[in-house]
Chain A
Amino acid sequence: MKKAQTYRWMKAFWSLGMLLTLFSCVEEVNIDIENEISSLVVHAILTDEYKHQEISLSRTYAFNLREAPVEAAATVKVITDDGSEFEFEELELGTYTSIHAFKATEGTSYTLHITTRDGKTYRSEAKQLAGSVHIDEFNAKEDLNEDQEEGLSFKLSASNSNSTGNYYRIDFEETYKIIAPYWSAFDAIIFAEGFHTVDVRAILRETEERVCYGTYKSTNINLVDTHNYQSDQLIEYPIQFLRKLDPKGMHRYSIEVKQYALDNETYAYYQALKEISDASSTVFTQSQPGLINSNIYSESNTDEIVLGYFEVSGVDTKRIFVDYRDFYPEGNRPPYFYACPTSIPSISGRQGERPLLEAIKSDALIYFSSTLPGEPGPFVMVLPYCGDCTRIGSNIKPEFWIDED
């Protein structure tokens, strides 16, 4: 009897054993976080560029909030080891600009001093200019990306003469001309709406809404350590790839690259920041997250946590412009950012249910053109970002913008 039972057991296990399945899984879990005290966040880069240097102060905030609270009405100054003092004024809330233009020079130590509105004082460790940068060349070449798509590759070459190598951080900002494809000089305006009467007219727009400029700033921390390189040189170092079909390149596109020379500690700071903010990684590798030590600390309470970093870095920038037709004289331009279907909503209906009027009121559609008399209408409407470029860019032409080469 006992034996028979065990054989049955065996059979069951046999079939299971044949189905070897082995798997790991990644699943989302809820975490319970206590409210932690908000900390001061400092963003301060002094460079060797002669300009009004800028420092911004904000605070940490909870995950469910949209914007960082700024730290306003603070006193900010930078003091050098030879006794010079550079004072900053708050031109925008939370953004402090040096009253006088200056540049960081080699051999001078700089210390950042902050007094917040509530009287707490903070200071940074003394920092010296880490080095200088010279970008030799920054250009665009036709290339293929990893997915074998056509496009332009923007590459940087920089040669510096630090024999032991150097640490660099590179970021870039793209600016591109946007021309709204369904732009019209007119706007649809509801003049009057009653139970029986409707007065809708097209009137001239007051602002520039056809040509705008979009910007995108790189968010990845791009670090280069030339100590590993044969010389302190970047040769055709890839910065950005613009696909041939990328709407950003539709008309005219500009990219500015900024290369900073960092000292070891600043490099380590960015590396830590990069490491713990990179959405990680394989099952087996995980970096130790934690508070990234700042070089700024509270003088009143040394246990207080301060985020951000005070760096004094050499910098060089280079901007180039490309026109789509420079590289692709033939063929269609890339499609617009969005698909732009037009529609002719009916004006009739009961009050509050007239499709055209509801679309205008809710800003779901904007004016493109008028229909011919006798046709349904009166207006051909289009999605707002197809006819108004300010929805996705700025209508203010940047100072650096050059329309022709």
Chain B
Amino acid sequence: MKKIVYIGFLLLSFAVHAQKKTYSFHFENQSLVSILNSIDKQTNYQIRYAESWFEDSPVSVDINNKTIQEVLDHLFTDTEFNYYLLDASTIIITRYKKIYDEIAEGFFQDTEIEQDEETTPIISPSLVDKSSLQQTSSQKNIIIGKQGGSASKFWLDISGSILQNDTQAPIREAVIAVKNTSTYSQSDDQGAFQLRLSRGDYVLSISAAAYQSMEQPITVYSDGSIQLQLNEAVEALDEVVLSGNRINQVNSSETGAENIDVEESKTIPLVLGERDVLKVAAALPGISSAGEGATGLNVRGGKPDQNLNLLDGGVVYNPTHFFGIFQALNPIAIGQLNIYKGSIPASYGGRLSSVFDIQTKNADLEEVHGELSLGPITFNGTVQTPINKGTSSMLTGIRGVYSDWILKKLKDENLKNNKANFFDVVNKFHFETENDSELNITTYYSKDQFNATVDSLFSYANLMLSAGIRKNLKKNIFRLNGSFSDYRHQIDYTGNAQNGFIQNYGLSQVNLMASLSKYFREKHRIELGNTNTLYKIQPGTLNPRTELDLIGQINLNSEQALEGALFLSDVWDLNQKLQLNAVVRIPYYLSFGPYQINEYDANFPKSKSSIINTSFVEKGQIESSFVGSEVRLSTRYLLTERSSIKIGINNAYQFLHTLSNNTAASPFDSWRLSNRYVKPQEAQQASLGYSFRQQDNNFDLTFDLYYKKYQHLTDLKTGANTQLVPSIETQILQGNGKAYGAEMMIRKNQGDLNGWIAYTYSRSMIQLDSKFPYERINQGQYFPSNFDKPHDLSVVANYKLTRRFSFSSNFTYQSGRPITFPTGKYDLDGVTYVTYSSRNKYRIPNYIRLDLGFNVEGTHKLNKVAHSFWSVSIYNLLGRNNPYSMFFVNEDNRIRAYQVSIFARSIPSISYNLKF
């Protein structure tokens, strides 16, 4: 075997003139190797090549009286091979590279080549920059295209894909940076990416969350493709992988986007042995929770109902169990969570604050995997099974509580005598084809049941089904998603004789979304689509529990509406530094009958007593309609290779409103639809961001400023009913709001000590004014909303002691949220009542909490069947009584203030995880 080692360049100028001898060859269906062998034998040329280059496909050759050059030209035209006549007796076959024996024109010219010209007719040979090669790792150089190929093009298009080394699963959101240039790309869901480079040698730096970064030297000759494989980060279990949006933060034009890799949540200290991505989310800037016991998250000072919670594209109305203490999403089954606070992707809408886009893992296509987690209260089992190896697989997760006895340990009298249980199941079917088209079907169900008092049983349940098809049509991607979501709650009240009842609420929605995206002129990525959601809400039924109960039936009229949007988005690379992400949406909304609508006396506040007429909208007839326009613009400008600024503006509409008489969201909130009186809530936001990362990605920093304005924010009148309300316009007030803030985050990504510090200063205000004094709150002036928490500091730090032992810690400081204090008393008909300050004039004490976690991994033996680890954590290590809320009681003619803390001391817990 004649092996060709490496042919350097600059083998120039000594031209060898071959003899003009001619040859004739006849080969019938022979392999190139045997043809070359024959030529080798029949001529006095020695041909040097590597046998492994050539495929076995048979070739037929019929050549008469041709020179050796003509023979070789004939053989190698339109292949990736070139040849070189080294001397009178040696022929060297090269792959990709062409050996020049004279310097091409322009080789020594210093003149800059104009970059825009697509077809500059310059042929410059590649030169290896030795210094850049030395910087690279031991990775072998990869050659793309063939030298001398599409010679007339200056810009070459390289498409590539990034795969996981062992499973060959695509890796999304990997960042591919070309070293010493400002060229970047990011892999999509299929792991695919695009780069435009001129001819030459480069080093690609590839990084992705939870994977080992790599550097890959490449040589580019012509358009071509490349496949890269990353190894999973070995220490992923005990080391925080914070790289999710590491370079992305600099490079993406999305403003206010956060990515949480679930690996990240593994190392945040646990609460009662449960991993919780939503708690990790609350440690990010601009996102806060009202504290333990609150269902919702507040994003940039918004209400919890302004967040859209998506699981594989389907809406989950209440993603928490047991009043928010546990997330209702199986932590093992979740692959990742993307949070959009600003640049919401075009296909999503209908909420003012944010989108929490949660994706479950695709089950492994090759092998069965399982993970079992045992905590002090919950158990969790998840299994990944291939169905058809290499193409389809199934992920199934089941989670639940052991029993009620643990909750009996709660010291709070209200909880002690009660039972509480919950469970959730998730199943995902995944199917993919070779060209990266895929089909996913997800089913999700969660249910909670508990007693709040001895004679009442509360329950609520989420059901979600979603199916998504994604099809790659050459450069276009077609997506079709359908989902069904259902949320319902029930109160079963035994009560005293004669007043027992069962009360139900239910919401269902069906959504269908279709879009087509296309790479256009290499600078645009355009997506065009349409999404439609059909809602049906049963706002309340009340039935007597038994025949003896006196309570009469209530059956509120159902509400139904269609919400949809046409959308068009474009990610436009204006030049290498400036990227524009533009979304235009036309949201529309129709509510229709059967529906009963009241007409009110305009001289009075809308109430039961001001109804002057009630009419009935027939089935299918339109009750109210709305068409709006939404624009979401964001731009990124790269200041340097490692820093960028981003500017974004966007507006949004929301047609769903919750009626909640609790300052923190509760699972028994009723979602209701807009009608002709209840206007859609509106928000406009402007934001400015700056991102910087250190050269080796060790540190990065982001800084964001935002200002938001709201119209028609809904809030309740004082003393309003929230349950069984026939016409919500009689219970709510709508007003203006504004919110603004500065968010800052510094992350240290690598090393034994890593983590982040996030600080947010923000304000959130609301104004409830009316022409009726009776409906004014705080004299119609702006006042702090329930979610106005100016200072919010989170510190997450992890320290790796050894490969097997690591610490994690989490510190949170938040300003106390606003509250209304009692300020005095008054007498009315012989009874003393309390009078209050203007709304939200005072604040509850600040919230401070420190958690500590300690992880112990099983041994790192290779080929071990199962991998296990223990997590020990202490929640609220300082034992601080953080107030969840305050209330006031009139005792002995004195007002006493009490604060309620849910976790009033440190809570240790331990959990065991087993993975195979």
Contact = CB atoms under 8 A, between A and B. Distances in A.
Say whether A associates with B. Answer: yes
Interface of A: 2-3, 6, 9-10, 13-14, 16-31, 33-34, 36, 38-39, 41, 43, 58-63, 66, 68, 125, 146, 217, 219, 228-231, 235, 263-265, 268-269, 271-273, 275-277, 279-295, 297, 302-303, 307-308
Contact of A17 (B717, B845, B872): B872
Contacts of B845: 29
Given A43-B828, A265-B609, A228 B552 contact: yes
A20 B773 contact: no
A66 to B, nearest CB: 8
B293 A283 contact: yes
Nearest to B844: A29
B607 A290 contact: no
B180 interface: no
B396 to A, nearest CB: 29
A20 B827 contact: no
Given A23-B904, A26-B899, A289-B822, 13 more contacts: A9-B805, A23-B412, A23-B905, A29-B883, A29-B886, A33-B837, A58-B826, A68-B832, A272-B718, A276-B834, A283-B900, A293-B775, A307-B828
A122 to B, nearest CB: 12
Contact of B412 (A26, A125, A276, A303): A26
Given A43-B828, A288-B663, A290-B820, A264 B889 contact: no
A272 B411 CA distance: 31
Contact of B835 (A6, A14, A291): A291
A257 to B, nearest CB: 15
Contacts of B908: 13, 16-17, 19-20
A269 B719 contact: yes
Interface string B456-490: 00000000000000000000000000000000000
A14 to B, nearest CB: 7
Closest 10 interchain pairs by CB? A272-B719, A17-B910, A23-B411, A25-B904, A264-B608, A230-B552, A13-B872, A16-B908, A68-B827, A264-B609
B625 interface: no
Interface string B278-312: 00000000000000010000000000000000000
Contact of A28 (B496, B718, B830, B897): B897
B376 interface: yes
A63 B904 CA distance: 29
B890 A277 contact: yes
B622 to A, nearest CB: 28
9 contacts: A13-B910, A18-B910, A24-B900, A28-B897, A31-B821, A235-B550, A272-B719, A279-B887, A284-B452
Given A26-B898, A29-B898, A63-B824, A288 B323 contact: no
A22 B825 contact: no
Contacts of B272: 22
A146 B842 CA distance: 40
Nearest to B874: A16
Contacts of B607: 264-265, 268
Contact of A289 (B376, B836, B881, B900): B836
A147 to B, nearest CB: 13
Contacts of B828: 41, 43, 307-308
Contact of A291 (B718, B884, B890, B910): B718
A60 B826 contact: yes
Contacts of B414: 282-283
Contact of A219 (B831, B837, B883, B899): B831
Given A63-B894, A303-B779, A284 B411 contact: no
Given A13-B908, A22-B410, A219-B831, A229 B415 contact: no
Contact of A36 (B717, B801, B837, B905): B837
Contacts of B63: none
Nearest to A38: B824
A25 B881 contact: yes
Contacts of B716: 288
B833 A277 contact: yes
B775 to A, nearest CB: 7
Contacts of B829: 43, 217
Contacts of B834: 276-277
Contact of A6 (B409, B802, B833): B802
A288 B718 contact: yes
Contact of A24 (B376, B411, B453): B411
A41 B827 contact: yes
A92 to B, nearest CB: 14
A174 to B, nearest CB: 13
B360 interface: no
Contacts of A21: 409, 905, 907
Contacts of B717: 268, 293
Contacts of A20: 376, 406, 409, 907-909
Contacts of B824: 36, 38, 60-63
B823 interface: yes
B836 A291 contact: yes
Contacts of A62: 824-825
A21 B369 CA distance: 34
A279 B777 CA distance: 23
Contact of A22 (B720, B881, B907): B907
Nearest to B773: A297
A289 B542 CA distance: 27
A288 B898 CA distance: 15
Nearest to A217: B830
Interface in B740-788: 773-777, 779
Contacts of A277: 833-834, 890
B823 to A, nearest CB: 4
Contacts of B415: 24, 283
Contacts of B837: 33, 36
A29 B833 contact: no
B889 A302 contact: no
A27 B899 contact: yes
A94 to B, nearest CB: 10
A367 B910 CA distance: 72
Nearest to A167: B608
B661 A288 contact: yes
Nearest to A295: B774
Contacts of A43: 828-829
B483 to A, nearest CB: 30
Give the residue among A38, A264, A281, A284 with the most B Cβ atoms within 10 A: A284
B827 A282 contact: no
B820 to A, nearest CB: 5
B833 A282 contact: no
A24 B662 contact: no
B666 A285 contact: yes
B676 interface: no
Interface string B394-434: 00000000000010011110110000000000000000000
Contact of B899 (A29, A61, A269, A284): A29
B797 to A, nearest CB: 17
Nearest to B807: A9
Interface in B655-678: 661-663, 666
Nearest to B411: A23
A2 B802 contact: yes
A268 B822 CA distance: 20
B851 to A, nearest CB: 14
Given A16-B874, A30-B897, A228-B554, A24 B410 contact: yes
Contact of A68 (B411, B826, B836, B885): B826
Nearest to A266: B609
Given A24-B411, A230-B552, A277-B833, A59 B826 contact: yes
A93 B829 CA distance: 15
Give the residue among A13, A38, A280 with the most B Cβ atoms within 10 A: A13
B902 interface: yes
Contacts of B661: 285, 287-288
A240 to B, nearest CB: 15
A2 B802 CA distance: 8
B491 to A, nearest CB: 12
